[in-house]
Chains A and B, each alone.
Chain A
Amino acid sequence: MHIIIIGAGQVGAFLARNLSHEHDIVVIEKNRDTAARLKDSHDVLVIEGDGDNPVMLKEARIEKADVMLAVSGDDKTNILASTFSASVGVPKIIVRIRDNDYLQYPEQLKKSEVFVVNPGTIISEKITSLISSPFAWKTETLARGKIKLFKLKVEEDTPIIRRRLADLGPAKAWIFVAISRNGKITIPTGETMLQHDDYVFALGIPDILDKLKEMFGVVEEEIKSAVIMGCGRLGTGAAKTLSDDGIKVKLIDSDPVKAQKAAEDLHKVLVFKGDATDSETLKEAGVESADYFLALTGDDEKNVLSALLAKSLGAKRTSVLYTKPDYIDLIEAIGVDRAISVRLALANEILSLLHIGGVAHIALVEEGKAEVLEFNITEKTKISGIPLKDVDFPEGAIIGIALRGNEIIIPRGDYVPTLNDRVIIFALPEAVKKVEKILGQ
C-alpha cells in the first residue's frame, strides 16, 4: 500500500519504521535535519516541505495513496492535509489532533471518513487504567475492549515464582503469551518457569485482573490523592479526568502563565507554580503523602528526575511520560514505577485503525519488540477447519485467544479455526510475516 505520513517527529518516524517493511511510505517533513536523518536510516521516501502544501502532497502522489496519516505536531497542518486528502479521495485518513475542541464535533469529522486520534484522550485513558489497577505494569485494550493485555512483574515473594507454567492449571479466560527477561521477549512453553524480575504478558478478558492479582498475591490500595507535574494539555487533561473520578489532584508547573490558566480552567484542582525538580515545591504540593505522582511534561529528563525526587520524598507510586525510545528499559529500571510513551500509545491507536489486508496490527509491545495481531478467519484462510496441532505454526508466535461470537476460547492443540472466528496473536517481529502467510488472505 502507498501510505503518506505527514511529520517525521517521534510518532511519524516510529510509524514509518514499523510500516516500511511491508508498505511504500512517503514522509513529508519540513525540518531539514529531521528529514535528512529519516532519509538515511529508513527505506522510505522523504520529501522536505510543508505537509499541508498541495504541491508537496502532489509530489507524494496523493492521488495514488491508500492511507494518509497526518501526525505532525501541528493541528492545522494535519487538518489541512486531511481535508486535501479527503477531497482527492484517499480511502483512509487518520489525523492527529491535540486540541480537544475539535473533538466537540465528532459527527462532522466522521462524515468525511476521517479518523481522529487525540493524544490527550489516549493518555488520559492510559493513566486512568494505570491508576485503577496499579498492579499491572502496562495495559493494552484490544478487540474493542473485549480483551486486555496486561504486563505484570514477578517479584521474589510472588506465589507462582519458580513453578512450571503447565502446573498452574488450565486457565479459562486468560493465557500467558510472553515473558520478558532481561529486556528480551520470548514465548513461554509449559516447561517455562517464572523467575524473579521477569515480566509476564497475560492476555485475557478484562475481568481476569482480579484472578491475576490473586495469583500474584497482590493487595491493592485505592488511590486517593495524586500530584501531577506539567500544566500542558496532557497534564490538565489527566488532572480533569482524575478529579472527575473523585481523586484529590494537585498540579505543578514552573510556567506561571500555564499554571494560571490551569487554575482558571479546573475547579477542583489546586495548582502550584514552581519547579518540580525542587523538593520545596514538591513538599508544598503534598507529595510526601500522595498516593501517586505523575510527571507529564514534554521533557523526558525532567519527568524522570522529578519522579525520582517525589519517590524519595515519600510518594507511593510514580509514573512518567517519555518520548525517546531508548529510554524504555532505563526508566523503570532506575525506580520509576511506570513509564508511559505518548508515541507508542498514539502509534498503537493508529495501527489499530489501519486494518490492512484483513490483518489488524492492533498493538506494538515494548517499543515494537513484539506485536499483537488480529485476524478474521474467512473462507480464504488456509488453516480454516484444521486442528491447531496439525498446523505448522511458526516459532515466535502464539495464538492467545480466539473469539467466536461472544465466546472466549483459549486455543489448545484441539482448537479448530472456524469461519468468522477472530484470533488474537502475539508475535515476535521475525514471525509476523510467517503468521500473515498462514492466516492472511
Chain B
Amino acid sequence: MNIKFSLHIIGNILKFLGLLMLVPAVFPLIYHEDDFWSLLISALITSGFGFILERITKPSEPIHEIERKDGFIVATLSWLGASAFGALPFIIYGALTNPADAFFESVSGFTTTGASVMTDVEILPHGILFWRSFTQWLGGIGIIVLGIAILPRLAVGGMQLMGLEASGPTAEKITPRIAETAKKLWGVYSVISVVLVLCLLFAGMPLYDSILHTFSTISTGGYSLKNASIGAYHNPVIEVIVTIFMFIGATNFVLLYWLSRGNVKRLLRSSEFKFYFFLNLIAVLLVTLQTRSTIYPSFLEALRYSSFNVMSISTTTGYATANFDLWPPFSKWLLLILMFFGACAGSTGGAIKNIRIVVLFKRCYQEIHRLIHPRAVVPVRVDRKPVSQEVLSSITGFFLLYLLVFLVASLLVMAQENLPIITAISACATTMGNVGPGLGEVGPAGNFSNLSDFTKVILSILMLLGRLELFTVLVLFTPVFWRK
C-alpha cells in the first residue's frame, strides 16, 4: 500500500477541481453580483491545497501503477475531498453558515442526490447557483472518470478505479485504452447535454436556466434554481423534455455510446434496459390510474404529474412538479420502492440499480425451479450470457449490505430526531439512493434544513456510500484492509 502516492493523486484531482471553480466566477462579472471573490478564494484554496499536497507527496521515482488497495483510498478520498472543498463557495459567500449544512449541500451535489438544506435558492447569486448545479454535472459521470480522461498517470490501474466509481456490478470498457474510454463517455455525456440545452431553449426556458437544469437533469441530480423546481415553469413541454432526458441519464452510458455509433441492437437486447423501461411504464400507469380518481380531475393531468414525478424518483433525479407527499398511500409506497431500485448500471443514477434487481429476481426463480427439478442445472442468464458465481454472490452481498446500512442508518436517525417513521425512513432511502426528496417533512414541499447536524452528517455519509456503492468506502473500515 502506498498512501503517499494515493494522496499525490488526490492532490492532482483537487488542483483541477479548483480550476473548475473559476468557471462560475464569470457570472458575477456578467450580472454584476458580489460572489466573485468568494468563488475566486475558494478556487485558490482548493487548487493551492491540491498543489501543496501534490508537491509534498511527490514520489521520488515515477510510479506507473496504482496498487489494488490504493484504489479504494483514491476513490473514497477523491469524493470526500471534492465534496469538502466543493462546500467552500457556500461557506465563504455566506449562503450557508453552518459547515454541516454546506458539506451536506456539496455532497448532495457531487453525488447527484439533489437533497437541499436551502430554504430559498432564488435569492442566491448566479455564480453560486451555477456552482451548485455544476457539481452535479461533474459528479454525474464521475470525478474519477474525468480524472482518467485528463490525467495520463491514472491509465494503469484506472480500470479498477473506474470500476470502484462506476455504478453497477461490473465496469465495461469500450476501447482498448481506459483514457480513451473515459474520453468517449465524457463525449457522449457532453453531446447529450448540449442537445438538452437546445431543447429547453426551444421550449422557452431562458439560457441560464436551461444550462443549470441540463446539469442537474442529465446527471440525474435534481438541483433547481427555482424553489418550486421544474414546476415553476408551468410548461408541459419542458416537463416532457426533462422526463425524457432524466430517463436517458438513468440509462447505461455504454449502451448510449453504442447507440450513438448506430448499434441499436445492444440497447434493445439489454435485459436491464427492458426491465427498467417496463418498470417505469407500469409504475407511471398505476400511479396515474390511482391519482386520477383521487387527486387530479382528468386522466391527462394525472398522467402529466404522475409520469414526471414517478420518473423523477425512479431515475433518482428528484425534481418535483407536484407535492407527491399528498398522493394516496399505494402511490407513496411505490415511490419508496422505486427509491431502492434506482437507475441502470453505468448511468449517472443511483441506488441498488436495476441490473441487480433483475439478477436477484432470476435468482429467486432459479431457487423455485430447483425445488421442482432438484437435478436440473439452470444457470442465471442476463442478456443471454450466464452470470458467473462471483458476480451472483457479489450482487446478493451488495443487496444485503444495502438493506443493512439502510436499517442501521434509519435507526440512528430515529434515535436522534423525533420524526414520523415515514420521514426518517424516506430520508435515509432517498439520500442513500441519491434521489433527493423523500416523503413527509423531507418531501417535495419541505427540505432537510430542520434536521440536526448529526443527522445531516449521517445522511451525507449515506449519500457518499450510495454513490460509491458501499464496498469501496466500507472496505476502508475493515481491519483486513490495514493489515500488512
Contact = CB atoms under 8 A, between A and B. Distances in A.
Interface string A35-53: 0000110111100000000
Contact of B178 (A2, A26, A43): A43
B173 A45 contact: yes
A234 interface: no
Given A32-B388, A43-B156, A43-B178, 17 more contacts: A2-B176, A24-B175, A24-B177, A24-B180, A25-B176, A39-B159, A40-B68, A40-B159, A42-B156, A43-B155, A43-B158, A43-B159, A43-B179, A45-B173, A45-B175, A45-B176, A430-B62
Contacts, number: 27
B160 interface: yes
A26 B176 CA distance: 6
Interface in A34-87: 39-40, 42-45
Contact of A40 (B155, B160, B179, B180): B160
Report the interface size class on chain A: 10 to 19
Contacts of A45: 173, 175-176
Contacts of B68: 40
Contacts of A2: 176
Contacts of A44: 176
Contact of A24 (B155, B156, B176): B176
Nearest to B65: A41
Contacts of B62: 430
A45 B173 CA distance: 7
Nearest to B385: A48
A242 B180 CA distance: 51
Contacts of B388: 32
A25 B159 CA distance: 14
A43 B148 CA distance: 12
A241 to B, nearest CB: 39
A84 to B, nearest CB: 20
A22 to B, nearest CB: 11
Contact of B177 (A39, A40, A43): A43
B315 to A, nearest CB: 30
Q: Which 5 A-B pairs have the closest CB atoms?
A: A24-B176, A45-B176, A43-B155, A45-B173, A25-B176
A43 B66 CA distance: 12
A296 to B, nearest CB: 34
Contacts of A32: 388
Nearest to B155: A43
12 contacts: A2-B176, A20-B176, A26-B176, A39-B159, A40-B68, A40-B160, A43-B159, A43-B177, A44-B176, A45-B173, A45-B175, A430-B62
A169 B255 CA distance: 67
A178 B146 CA distance: 42
Interface in A215-274: none
Nearest to A44: B176
Contacts of A40: 68, 159-160
A230 to B, nearest CB: 35
Interface in B11-56: none
A32 B386 CA distance: 12
Chain B CB count within 10 A is highest, among A24, A25, A40, A45, for A45
A44 B179 CA distance: 11
